[in-house]
Amino acid sequence: MMPPVLEQSIPERIPHSSYDIAFEYRPVSSLYRCWHRSMDILFSLCGMVALSLLLPVVALCNYLESPGPLFYTQERLGYMGKPFTIYKLRSMRTDAEREGKAIWATRDDPRATRIGRLLRATHLDELPQIINILRGEMSLIGPRPEREVYVLQLEKIAPWYRKRLLIKPGLTGLAQVKHNYGGTQQDELRKLEYDLYYIKHQSWQLDVAILLRTVGEVVSGHGI
């Protein structure tokens, strides 16, 4: 049970179109930046231990079901639109994008392997991104980093979509704990409203509330 002061930090619902091109970003305090980075480093160091235990099991399962690379890398847009390489445990078949076209990932994606579905449900496929966090390319909490092709598509519909890049992308975030997987452009624009809410209302209370919600999703295996 989450303490009321933390539960209240997460908005129950954000009215559609409540954030638009008029959105203004106010830089956070030095104290909050120190808290945020300390949280990033502490989580990443703990995550390294978990990752070292997980890798042999995933490697064996992938070898038996879908031989191929253990890790999946992809270029994403980070802080202020700077490209970086994101790391994940491979959860899909090696021919998931055999035609070379970017395809939205969905909750019950048929391209996922059996071990991949378990990894995605528990978010353990995202664990290698602790490398990105330690490098300073990502943070523990923030908007999920997207591929440039998707960013360009969504900017045509919502020119303010790029405002998500005003802070570092995150391993988890408000949009992830409130809206789950987005398989359409409308889903992504709905998640955008939560991302902009987080950017505008960053606080240690909101961060802790998002972390507790994320832990609950991982333990329950519901997936985000």
Token readout for 38 is 């300390």
Measured CA to CA, the distance from residue 203 to residue 32 in angstroms comes to: 7
For residue 23, pLDDT over 80 is answered with no
Label residue 224 by pLDDT band (50, 70, 90): very low
State whether residue 103 is helix, strand or coil.
coil
**pLDDT value at 57 more than 80:** yes
Report pLDDT for 208: 93
Q: How confident is the model at residue 139 (pLDDT cuts 50, 70, 90)?
A: very high
Instruction: Flag whether the pTM goes above 0.85.
Output: no
If you average pLDDT over residues 166-195, what whole number do you get?
85
Q: What's the average model confidence in pLDDT over 121-147? A: 93
- pLDDT at position 176: 87
pLDDT of residue 26: 81
pLDDT band at residue 140 under the 50/70/90 scheme: very high
Q: Where are the alpha helices (DSSP H) in the chain?
A: 4-7, 30-65, 114-122, 130-135, 148-157, 174-179, 185-200, 204-220
**One-letter identity of residue 199:** I
Q: How far is CA 45 from CA 67, 129, 185, in A?
A: 29, 12, 35
Rounded Cα distance between 76 and 144, Å, is 10
Chain-centre distance for alpha carbon 190: 15
User: Measuring CA to CA, how many Å separate 98 from each of 70, 94, 125?
Assistant: 18, 8, 21
Q: What is the mean pLDDT of the chain?
A: 83
The percentage of the chain sitting over the pLDDT mark of 90, rounded to a whole number, equals: 44
**What are the C-alpha distances in Å from 24 to residues 70, 85, 112?**
41, 28, 39
Query: Is the predicted pLDDT of residue 218 greater than 60, yes or no?
Result: yes
Question: In this model, does residue 94 exceed pLDDT 90?
Answer: no
**pLDDT at residue 97, as a whole number:** 59
Instruction: Please enumerate in sequence order all residues whose Cβ is within 8 A of that of 52, keeping only pairs 6 or more positions apart, or say none.
Output: none
If pLDDT is split at 50, 70 and 90, which confidence band does 5 have? low
Cβ(132)–Cβ(138) below 8 Å: yes
